[in-house]
C-alpha cells in the first residue's frame, strides 16, 4: 500500500477527548474514527490489525476442534427472560420493538442463542462433545464508554461455547481452550497473564481471565512473586497479617468528639489501625446490612455480594442510616439497637482488644471482642487482598500490577441448559442437561490493549505478528529520479517475496515521514535517500530500537526474513 493512497489522515495534536494512549494513537494514526459515543469505524490500517488477530484466533480455535458458526445479533426478549439473565444485565441490555410490537434485544453475548441452537440439534450423548464459536458483533449500553476501543457499546468478540455430557468432559474442554488461549496470545506477540477471576453477570463456576500487563490497565491484579499465582483483586484470597492475641479486658467507653475515621481514632487513642474495627453499611437488594472488618483492611464488594447472595449492592446513604436510627461515623455491631443482618470478615475473629464505634454520637468503645461483645450472621473472607500480604498457595509475597482483560473463560455448568431445555439422553436413556463452558475474547479490545502494552512517546510499537504491515519504506526526496526508481523496485521486490509493505511515496519532508512511521508503529523501517543510494545501501531500523544501521540492498530480502524469524 502506498501512503499517498492510504485512506485516513495522521494528526499531530492529541485529541482532547482521547483519555488513553491507545485511543490517542489509534485516532492520530488514522486507524479508527468515532461515529458516536462508544461506536467506532475501523479504517484500513486498524482493520488490518484486527483481521490478523482474528485469523490467529480462528486458527487456534479450529486446531482445538472448534467449529465456526454465525448467530444473530437480534434476539427475542423472551429467551433472555427465560434464562433469567435479563435483570442481571439491567440497563446494559439494548431493548427495542419491531413493527409488530414484539420485544427484542441486541445481543451483548450469545449464551442464550447458542444454547437454544444446540437444543435443536443435540439429542444424544453421541452428539457430544461440541465446541462452537463465532466472531461476531456485540452491543452493550455501557454507561460510560471510554478509552477508545477499550470500553465501547458496539464491539467484535470471539465467543466459543463447549458442550459436554458431564463435569469431567467440561474439564477437558476447559483445559483445551485454556491452552488454545495461551497459544494465541503467544502467537500475537502479547504475553498475557492468566488470573483467577469473578464471573460477573455471565455467571458460572470456575472463571479465569487473560490480562495484558499495562500501567494504564483498569484492573488490579495481585501476583505472587514466588509461585506466580495470580488473581483479579476482586477474587484473590490472601493470608492476612496475624495480630497477636491479648488477654480480654472489660469494655470501656471513651469520648471521641468529631472523630469518625479509622485514621483519626488510631491517632487519638494511640492504637494501630489493625486494633480497630471498621463498620460499613450497605443496601443489598433494598435491605440495609452491616459489614465489619479489621480497621487496616478494605471491603471487597464482589466477595460481599456473593456472601449476601444479592443482585444489587451499594453503599448506604445518609437517608438510609437516619431512617434506621444509626449514628453515622460511630456505628458498630456492639450494643446495636437496630435489627440488621451483619456480615463480618474473618479478620475480626482473633486478635487484640479492638476499638469499635459506640453507636452513639462522639463515642467509641475500647476492648471489644468477637463473640463476647457482639455476634454476626455471616463470617467469611470479604477483604481485598493487598500487595504485601502472603500468598495462600505458597506463603510468598504478593505484589500488585495493573492489567487489561483480553480474554475470559468460564465453566458455566448446567444453569442455562436446564432453563433453556438443552438436554441429551445418556447411555441408559436418561435425559440430562448439557454441561457448558464459555470462552470469550474482545477482539477490538485486544487491539487497543496491544498498544497500551507496546508504545513509546512517539507512537505505536506493533508486535510483528499483528502489525498492519511488516515493513515501512520511507522514500526521501521523492522528486529525485534515482530515489523513485530504487524505491519502486524495492517496493515491488519485497511484495514479490510475500512481504507486506507500506510505501511512503509522498513528497514530504523527512521529519514528517519519520514521525508518521513512528506513529504507525510498523516493526521494520527502510529508508531510501540519495545518500544511501551512493553506496547502494538502505537505512534499516527496527521500531523497537533507537539507532538505525546502513545495510546493502543486495541480500536485503534474506536479511529481513532472518529478522522476522528472530
Report the CATH number at residue 522.
3.40.50.800
Q: Is residue 447 domain-shared with residue 474, that is, in the same domain? A: no
Q: Return the pLDDT at 267.
A: 95
Task: Give the mean pLDDT of 152-178.
Answer: 97
Task: Give the mean pLDDT of 304-313.
Answer: 91
Q: Is residue 139 domain-shared with residue 197, that is, in the same domain? A: yes
pTM as predicted: 0.85
Rounded Cα gap, residues 247 and 245, in angstroms: 7
Residue 89 exposure: Cα atoms within 13 Å on the Cβ side? 22
Domain total in the chain: 3
- Residue 16: Cβ-neighbour burial (10 angstroms; 0-12, 13-18, 19+): exposed
pLDDT band at 552 (very low <50, low <70, confident <90, very high): very high
For residue 416, what are the contacts with CB-CB under 8 A and spacing of at least 6? 83, 111, 112, 115, 422, 436
Q: Return the pLDDT at 112.
A: 97
SS3 295: coil
- Max distance between CA atoms of the chain, in angstroms, equals 96
Q: What is the mean pLDDT of the chain?
A: 94
Residues 406/411/415/420 CA torsion (nearest 10 deg): 70
> 382 and 293 in contact (C-beta within 8 Å)?
yes
> 320 and 372 in contact (C-beta within 8 Å)?
no
Closest by CA position to 354, among listed 292, 301, 280, 303 = 292
Closest by CA position to 140, among listed 97, 95, 197 = 95
> 128 and 434 in contact (C-beta within 8 Å)?
yes
Q: Is residue 319 domain-shared with residue 367, that is, in the same domain? A: yes
Q: Return the pLDDT at 199.
A: 59
Q: Is residue 141 domain-shared with residue 203, that is, in the same domain? A: yes
Does a structural domain hold residue 297?
yes
pLDDT band at 363 (very low <50, low <70, confident <90, very high): very high
Task: Give the mean pLDDT of 97-109.
Answer: 96
Q: Which sign does the torsion angle of CA 154, 158, 164, 166 carry? A: negative
Does a structural domain hold residue 237?
no
For residue 255, what are the contacts with CB-CB under 8 A and spacing of at least 6? 362, 363
Closest by CA position to 33, among listed 22, 43, 24, 48 = 43
Q: Is residue 213 domain-shared with residue 69, that is, in the same domain? A: yes
Does a structural domain hold residue 223?
no
Task: Give the mean pLDDT of 459-482.
Answer: 97
Per residue in 181-212, pLDDT (tens digit) is 999 999 999 999 999 886 554 455 688 999 99
Q: Return the pLDDT at 497.
A: 94
Does a structural domain hold residue 464?
no
Q: Return the pLDDT at 243.
A: 87
What are the DSSP E strand ranges found in 443-488? 455-456, 459-460, 471-475
Q: Is residue 166 domain-shared with residue 81, that is, in the same domain? A: yes
End-to-end CA distance of the chain: 25
Task: Give the mean pLDDT of 441-467.
Answer: 97
DSSP 124: B
Does a structural domain hold residue 233?
no
> 232 and 197 in contact (C-beta within 8 Å)?
yes
129 prior amide bond cis, ω within 30:
yes
Rounded Cα gap, residues 59 and 56, in angstroms: 5
Rounded Cα gap, residues 452 and 523, in angstroms: 16
**Quick check: 562 pLDDT over 80?**
yes
Residue 161 exposure: Cα atoms within 13 Å on the Cβ side? 27
Residue 158 pairs in a beta bridge with 135, 441
Q: Return the pLDDT at 17.
A: 87
Range of the domain at 206: 47-217+400-452
Does a structural domain hold residue 395?
no
Q: Is residue 440 domain-shared with residue 546, that is, in the same domain? A: no
* Residue 486 C-alpha from the chain's centroid: 46
User: Hey, what's the cell of 260?
Assistant: 469518625
Q: Is residue 446 domain-shared with residue 475, that is, in the same domain? A: no
Q: Is residue 79 domain-shared with residue 130, that is, in the same domain? A: yes
Closest by CA position to 351, among listed 266, 273, 243 = 243
Rounded Cα gap, residues 545 and 23, in angstroms: 24
Does a structural domain hold residue 336?
yes
Helices (H) and strands (E) in the chain, counts: 15, 31
Does a structural domain hold residue 247?
no
Q: Is residue 412 domain-shared with residue 536, that is, in the same domain? A: no
> 57 and 70 in contact (C-beta within 8 Å)?
no
Q: Is residue 481 domain-shared with residue 517, that is, in the same domain? A: yes
Domain at 192, CATH number: 3.30.930.10
Pairing, β 74-76 against β 67-68:
unpaired
Closest by CA position to 114, among listed 162, 74, 52, 150 = 162
User: Hey, what's the cell of 152?
Assistant: 465501547
Among 379, 411, 434, which residue terminates a domain? 379
Q: Return the pLDDT at 240.
A: 84
Q: Is residue 511 domain-shared with residue 444, that is, in the same domain? A: no
Pairing, β 471-475 against β 524-528:
parallel
Task: Give the mean pLDDT of 300-316.
Answer: 91
Amino acid at each position: 500500500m502506498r501512503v499517498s493512497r492510504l485512506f485516513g489522515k495522521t494528526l499531530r495534536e492529541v485529541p482532547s477527548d482521547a483519555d488513553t494512549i491507545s485511543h490517542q494513537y489509534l485516532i492520530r494514526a488514522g486507524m479508527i474514527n468515532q461515529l458516536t459515543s462508544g461506536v467506532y469505524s475501523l479504517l484500513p490500517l486498524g482493520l488490518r490489525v484486527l483481521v490478523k488477530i482474528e485469523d490467529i484466533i480462528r486458527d487456534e480455535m479450529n486446531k482445538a476442534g472448534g467449529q465456526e458458526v454465525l448467530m444473530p445479533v437480534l434476539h427475542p426478549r423472551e429467551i433472555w427472560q427465560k434464562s433469567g439473565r435479563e435483570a442481571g444485565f439491567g440497563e446494559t441490555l439494548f431493548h427495542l420493538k419491531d413493527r409488530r410490537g414484539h420485544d427484542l434485544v441486541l445481543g451483548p453475548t450469545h449464551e442464550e442463542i447458542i444454547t437454544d441452537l444446540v437444543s435443536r440439534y443435540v439429542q444424544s450423548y453421541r452428539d457430544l462433545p461440541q465446541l462452537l464459536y463465532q466472531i461476531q458483533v456485540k452491543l452493550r449500553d455501557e454507561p460510560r464508554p471510554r478509552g477508545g476501543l477499550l470500553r465501547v457499546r458496539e464491539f467484535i468478540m470471539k465467543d466459543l461455547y463447549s458442550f459436554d455430557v458431564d463435569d469431567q468432559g467440561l474439564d477437558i474442554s476447559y483445559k483445551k481452550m485454556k491452552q488454545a488461549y495461551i497459544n494465541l496470545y503467544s502467537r500475537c506477540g502479547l504475553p498475557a497473564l492468566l488470573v483467577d477471576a469473578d464471573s460477573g453477570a455471565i455467571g458460572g463456576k470456575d472463571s479465569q481471565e487473560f490480562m495484558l500487563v499495562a500501567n494504564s490497565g483498569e484492573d488490579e491484579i495481585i501476583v505472587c512473586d514466588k509461585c506466580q499465582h495470580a488473581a483479579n483483586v476482586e477474587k484473590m484470597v490472601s493470608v492476612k497479617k496475624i495480630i497477636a492475641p491479648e488477654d480480654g479486658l472489660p469494655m470501656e467507653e471513651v469520648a471521641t468528639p468529631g472523630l469518625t475515621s479509622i485514621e483519626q481514632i488510631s491517632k487519638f487513642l494511640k492504637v494501630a489501625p489493625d486494633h480497630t474495627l471498621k463498620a460499613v453499611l450497605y443496601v443489598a437488594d433494598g435491605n440495609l446490612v452491616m459489614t465489619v472488618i479489621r480497621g487496616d483492611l478494605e471491603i471487597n464488594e464482589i466477595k460481599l455480594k456473593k456472601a449476601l447472595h444479592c443482585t444489587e449492592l451499594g453503599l448506604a446513604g445518609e437517608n438510609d442510616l437516619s431512617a434506621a436510627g444509626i449514628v453515622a461515623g460511630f456505628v458498630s455491631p456492639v450494643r446495636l439497637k437496630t435489627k440488621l443482618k451483619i456480615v463480618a470478615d474473618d479478620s475480626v475473629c482473633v486478635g487484640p482488644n479492638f476499638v469499635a464505634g459506640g453507636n452513639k454520637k462522639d463515642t467509641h468503645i475500647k476492648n471489644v471482642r468477637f463473640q463476647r461483645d457482639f455476634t454476626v450472621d455471616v463470617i467469611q473472607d470479604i477483604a481485598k487482598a493487598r500487595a504485601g500480604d502472603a500468598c495462600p498457595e505458597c506463603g510468598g509475597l504478593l505484589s500488585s500490577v495493573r492489567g487489561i482483560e483480553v480474554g475470559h473463560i468460564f465453566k458455566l455448568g448446567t444453569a442455562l441448559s436446564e432453563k433453556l431445555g438443552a438436554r441429551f439422553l445418556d447411555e441408559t436413556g436418561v435425559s440430562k442437561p448439557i454441561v457448558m463452558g464459555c470462552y470469550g475474547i474482545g477482539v477490538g479490545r485486544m487491539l487497543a490493549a496491544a498498544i497500551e502494552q507496546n508504545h513509546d512517546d512517539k507512537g505505536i510499537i506493533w508486535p510483528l505478528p499483528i502489525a498492519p504491515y511488516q515493513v515501512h519504506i520511507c522514500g526521501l526526496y521523492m522528486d529525485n529520479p534515482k530515489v523513485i526508481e530504487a524505491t519502486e523496485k524495492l517496493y515491488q521486490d519485497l511484495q514479490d517475496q510475500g512481504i507486506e509493505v507500506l510505501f511512503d511515496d509522498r513528497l514530504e519532508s523527512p521529519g514528517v515521514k519519520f514521525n508518521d512511521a513512528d506513529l504507525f508503529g510498523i516493526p521494520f523501517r527502510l529508508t531510501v535517500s540519495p545518500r544511501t543510494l551512493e553506496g547502494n545501501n538502505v537505512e534499516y531500523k527496527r521500531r523497537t530500537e533507537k539507532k538505525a544501521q546502513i545495510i546493502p540492498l543486495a541480500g536485503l530480502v534474506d536479511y529481513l526474513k532472518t529478522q522476522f524469524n528472530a
